[in-house]
Amino acid sequence: MIDVKSIILIVLDGLGDRPGEILGYRTPLQAAYHPNMNRMASLGMTGLMHPISPGIRSGSDTSHMSLLGYDPRVYYQGRGPFEALGLHMDMKPGDLAFRANFATNRDGKIIDRRAGRINAGNDQLASAISIDIGNYKFRVKSGVEHRAALVVSGPNLSDKISDSDPHSEGKPPEPIRPLDPSADSTAKIMNEYLKRIREILRDHPVNVEREKNGQIPGNELLIRSAGKVPDIPSFQEKNGITGACVVGSPWLKGLCRLLGMAVIDVPGAAGTINSNYTGKIKTAIDASKRYDFVLVNIKATDVAGHDGDYELKRRVIEDIDIAMEPLLGQSDRIVVAITGDHSTPCSVKDHSGDPVPIVFYTDGIYSDDVKLFDEVSAMKGALRITTQDVLNILMEMAGRAEKFGS
Amino acid sequence: MIDVKSIILIVLDGLGDRPGEILGYRTPLQAAYHPNMNRMASLGMTGLMHPISPGIRSGSDTSHMSLLGYDPRVYYQGRGPFEALGLHMDMKPGDLAFRANFATNRDGKIIDRRAGRINAGNDQLASAISIDIGNYKFRVKSGVEHRAALVVSGPNLSDKISDSDPHSEGKPPEPIRPLDPSADSTAKIMNEYLKRIREILRDHPVNVEREKNGQIPGNELLIRSAGKVPDIPSFQEKNGITGACVVGSPWLKGLCRLLGMAVIDVPGAAGTINSNYTGKIKTAIDASKRYDFVLVNIKATDVAGHDGDYELKRRVIEDIDIAMEPLLGQSDRIVVAITGDHSTPCSVKDHSGDPVPIVFYTDGIYSDDVKLFDEVSAMKGALRITTQDVLNILMEMAGRAEKFGS
């Protein structure tokens, strides 16, 4: 009889990378000094994990769903709802939710998709553009910096519509287009809403004041990732274990809340560079005494990858490794896995479809010959898996897997 | 932002093999001098690819469908229709198509399944056995040497029937048997047809003349691989990119034509040993300027494997490698993958279920430690994939993959 252990799954967001000239043609993970993760690789089982399946350029949302045991090809219906849930917005089935940015529109063109990372007056702007048009209610809530979410309630809404976000600067905002004839009326009401709020934002005192102070205004709301709240079983129903999360990103808190997992906040851990890594890991270890499964997400690796900053990504990995140290003394009662949700190579500055290294670490498991935790060493490891396999392996190593057959 | 590249997928048919004593217990790919493919392995990402899934003895047709993004477990309905399409035969939904061989029947037994590779008078024989029986129309068209296709039109045809081809010599042709009660009437009319055409072929002047000249007659039509035309989306609909093919085998041309891909002919490239390899690769490079994706199939490796000729297979690989040289200068704008559709080990003389080495090569991708392109070296590469993953990885490396999620 195997003892039952708790599980901590640590996702270093966008961890995987490619060799960079500035690092002597090594990846940030190869170049970083990370003795704690290497120790886990030495004692544990390693390999390469494909997010979703080989070659798929996975988003963070779809990959996390898969890591939590939900096939995104079945359950994923756009990130909008997670973002709105992360901001504690009320939603009901049939509502439509979007990710949104306050942006700067000058003469019809987006000159800054983040309105200078606006961080004052955002709540007032969000409140001013929470309006009703006929039978449709539009509610906006601001998040970190320029980020916000929009929830729309009303009859016959469809998520088969395009974004207004042009996804690059120097271009005008896009009109919302139906991607399916059933979405014609939704596209129409969304375009009407975006037109009305441009007038409200233009004349809003927050923006008038910003212009006066030489700051660019938050006079445009760019919306994207339309989605409806999925009808989804809870984490406990799906996997038969209790779950908690220690994560910074609002959308990921939203996903975990939707799945009925406990969302544990850590002071100073907000999903940015220099987040409180030590606090997150300690909190996760503590939570693993009360919950069967704890998800940790550390966003800083992804931020460094999106910025294309090899040196920063290396330093972030080194800082995170220091925070990992307490995990080494817990291998008798905890199974740890460390991986990324996808690669965000500094050379690409976006998600790629490359596989990501993964290590499983606990006492008494079948180890492989790999002594280092990085992309190239992991190729010599035991495993070639996908995100969809991770929770199964963790459950198995934790002594929690049901036998399939007899 | 990633630059968008074109894709060339080169399938060396039946490439995979097993070690042969005659080659010092190396595979033909290990024994062959192939510096250009090794260069791509050194700079690219390698691994093993399972045709369809591990242990499956894949056909060329099912494997190619999978490589082109179509799960054959969903779309494959027998090779007959591809063979007929490859010969430009007219077909409509509900029609039944067969691969066929002119063979030699002596006293009720097949003494040569290929009628001495008959290559004169074939069109006349095919025309003579294109007859109507009641409401059923039977149309035969001859292909390369003894090969032909048969298309049947008529009411309530079923493809759940057995072959008349005994698949080995010294045996009588098999009666067509229904594999399902719904196919009873189809089996009956097919047996009636085969009986009638035996009389026609026996007395046909082409065969009378052959016998007079001491040649064995084409007095039997062996039919196999009954299938209906599948209802299948085009390559562009399915994958969102334009496609072309540079292939010799008529059935593969037929498949590509069915998928709406451009079929580009190359003089001297007919799917045999000593095909115009250089012409094929050059044509593919040229086509990659007009199409997003180009499939190349080189059949000679499979022919050598079926013949059990290790030395021939090695020489064919060396000749093909010379033709690969121009690909090395194109890695800034093309993603190349080289693999087989399955293994045809010389020791087996037929398709096996062994995994096949694969290399992906283009600028700026994550490489692995593998420096040689062969079955054993590829085991140390990054990838363990199936045919179903190949197009996803190619799309990703070409900067053409949509992000799944955000």
Residue range A55-77: mean pLDDT, rounded: 94
Min distance A160 CA to chain B CA atoms (Å): 14
- Rounded CA gap, B60 and B303, in Å? 12
User: Cα A156 vs. chain centroid, distance in angstroms?
Assistant: 29
Q: What is the mean pLDDT of chain B?
A: 94
Residue B365 touches chain A, beta carbons under 8 Å: yes
Q: Does A384 touch chain B (CB under 8 A)?
A: yes
Shortest distance between the Cα of A213 and any Cα of chain B, in A, equals 34
Instruction: Read off the pLDDT of residues B201-232 as tens digits, 9 standing for 90 and up.
Output: 999 999 999 999 999 999 999 999 999 877 78
Q: For residue range B344-356, list pLDDT tens digits in order.
A: 999 999 999 999 9
Helix (H, G, I), strand (E, B) or coil at A69: coil
Q: What is the pLDDT of residue A271?
A: 67
Residues A225, A99: contact at Cβ < 8 Å?
A: yes
Q: Does an H or E element contain A361, and which?
A: strand A356-361
Helix axes B60-67, B250-258, angle to 10 degrees: 40
For residue A93, what pLDDT is reported?
Answer: 76
Residue B53 C-alpha, separation from nearest chain A C-alpha, in angstroms: 14
End-to-end alpha carbon distance in chain B: 15
Q: What is the mean pLDDT of residues A135-145?
A: 94
**Chain A residue closest in CA terms to B395:** A55
Question: Considering only CB atoms, which chain A residues are within 8 Å of B1?
Answer: 349-350
Q: Give the model confidence (pLDDT) of A153-168 as tens digits.
A: 999 999 999 999 999 9
Per the CB < 8 A criterion, the answer to whether A72 and A65 are in contact is yes
Q: Using one digit for the tens of pLDDT, what is the confidence trace for B260-285?
A: 999 999 987 766 777 789 999 999 99
Which of A17, A56, A222 is the best mutation test for B, with the most CBs of B within 10 A? A56
**B396 interface with A at CB cutoff 8 Å:** yes
First to last CA, chain A: 15
Read off the tokens for B252. Answer: 């593969």
Between B312 and A76, the higher pLDDT residue: B312
A chain contacts of residue B395, beta-carbon cutoff 8 Å: 55
Q: Which residues pair with B252 in a beta bridge?
A: none
Pick among 3.40.50.300, 3.60.20.10, 3.90.650.10, 3.40.720.10: CATH of B6-75+231-397: 3.40.720.10
Across the interface, whether the CB atoms of B382 and A48 are under 8 A apart is answered yes
User: Is any Cβ of chain A less than 8 angstroms from the Cβ of B257?
Assistant: no
- What percent of chain B shows pLDDT beyond 70? 99
Q: What are the angstrom distances between the C-alpha of B42 and each of A44, A116, B369, B378, B399?
A: 29, 45, 7, 11, 21
CB-facing half-sphere around the CA of B74: CA atoms within 13 A: 9
Q: What was the pLDDT predicted at B271?
A: 67
pLDDT value, residue A2? 52
- In this complex, the residue of A53, A348, A379 whose CB is nearest that of residue B392 is A53
The strand pair at B132-133 and A383-386 is best described as unpaired
A58 closest CB neighbour out of B381, B385, B404: B404
Q: Residues B15-50: pLDDT tens digits? A: 999 999 999 999 999 999 999 999 999 999 999 999
**Which residues of chain B neighbour A19 with C-beta distances below 8 Å?**
366-367
Phi/psi zone of residue A111: left (φ > 0), alpha (ψ -120 to 50 degrees), beta?
Answer: alpha
Amino acid in position A322: I
What is the pLDDT at residue A88?
86
Give the pair of three-digit tokens for residue B350.
């037929």
Q: What is the mean pLDDT of residues B378-387?
A: 96
Whether residues B406 and A225 touch (CB distance < 8 A) is answered with yes
The answer to whether residues B210 and B218 touch, using CB atoms and an 8 Å cutoff, is yes
8 A C-beta contact, residue A207 and residue A218: yes
On the question of pLDDT at B391 being above 70, the answer is: yes
Q: What percent of chain A has pLDDT over 70?
A: 99
**Is the CB of B393 less than 8 angstroms away from the CB of A351?**
no
Answer yes or no: is pLDDT of A123 > 50: yes
In tens, the pLDDT along B59-117 reads 999 999 999 999 999 888 888 888 898 888 988 778 999 999 999 999 999 999 999 99
Residue B367 to residue A19, Cβ atoms within 8 A: yes
pLDDT of res. A1: 47
SS (H, E, C) chain B: CCCCCEEEEEEECCEECCCEHHHCCECHHHHCCCHHHHHHHHHCEEEEEECCCCCCCCCHHHHHHHHCCCCHHHHCCCCHHHHHHHCCCCCCCCCEEEEEEEEEEECCEEEECCHHHCCCCHHHHHHHCCCEECCEEEEEEECCCCEEEEEEECCCCCCCECCCCCCCCCCCCCCCCECCHHHHHHHHHHHHHHHHHHHHHHCCHHHHHHHHCCCCCCCEEEEEEEEECCCCCCHHHHHCCCEEEECCCHHHHHHHHHCCCEECCCCCCCCCCCCCHHHHHHHHHHHCCCCCEEEEEECHHHHHHHCCCHHHHHHHHHHHHHHHHHHHHHCCCEEEEEECCCECCCCCCCCECCCEEEEEECCCCCCCCCCCCCHHHHCCCCEEEEHHHHHHHHHHHCCCCCEECC
Using only C-alpha atoms, chain B has a radius of gyration, in whole angstroms, of: 22
Chain B residues with beta carbon closer than 8 angstroms to that of A347: 364
Tens-digit pLDDT profile for residues A332-389: 999 999 999 999 999 999 999 999 999 999 999 989 999 999 999 999 999 999 999 9
Q: Which residues of A touch B3 (CB under 8 A)?
A: none
CATH 3.40.720.10 given to domain A6-76+231-397: yes
Query: pLDDT (tens digit, 9 = 90+) per residue, B133-190?
Result: 999 999 999 998 999 999 999 999 999 999 999 999 999 999 999 999 999 999 999 9
Contact B256, B293 (CB under 8 A): no
- In angstroms, rounded to a whole number, what is the distance separating the alpha carbons of residues B391 and B403? 15
How many CB atoms are located within 10 Å of the residue B28 CB? 31
Q: Residue B196: pLDDT above 60?
A: yes
Encode pLDDT of A197-250 as tens digits: 999 999 999 999 999 999 999 999 999 999 987 778 999 999 999 999 999 988
Mean pLDDT for the stretch of residues A189-200: 96
Which CA distances in Å does A406 have to A310, A402, A403?
50, 10, 7
How far is Cα B296 from Cα B302, in angstroms, rounded to an integer?
14
Q: What is the pLDDT of residue B129?
A: 97
- Helix (H) / strand (E) element for A151: namely strand A147-153
Using alpha carbons only, give the angle A330, A332, A362 rounded to the nearest 5 degrees: 85
Look at residue B1 in the predicted model and tell me its pLDDT: 42
Is the CB of B396 less than 8 angstroms away from the CB of A18? no
Q: Do B403 and A352 touch (CB under 8 A)?
A: no
Least Cα separation, residue B27 to chain A (angstroms) = 23
Strand-pair partners of B47: B358, B383
pLDDT of residue A78: 83
For chain A, how long is the longest CA-to-CA vector? 74
Chain B CB within 8 Å of residue A19 CB: yes
**CA–CA separation, A257 vs A278, rounded Å?**
23
Average the pLDDT over B311-321 and give the result. Answer: 97
Contacting residues of A for B401, CB less than 8 Å apart: 55-57, 353
Domain extents in chain A: 6-76+231-397, 82-228
Q: Which of A77, A98, A255, A379 should one mutate to test binding to chain B, selecting the residue with the greatest count of B CBs within 10 A?
A: A379
Chain B contact for A52 (CB, 8 A cutoff): yes
DSSP A248-279: --HHHHHHHHHTT-EE---TT-SSSTT--HHH
ipTM: 0.81
Which residue is associated with the tokens 């048969």? B150
Q: B54 — phi, psi (to 5°)?
A: -55, 135
Closest residue in chain A to residue B366, using alpha carbons only: A18
Res. B2: pLDDT tops 60:
no
Over range A184-204, report the average pLDDT.
96
Query: Which residues of chain B lie closer than 8 angstroms to A225, CB-CB?
Result: 406
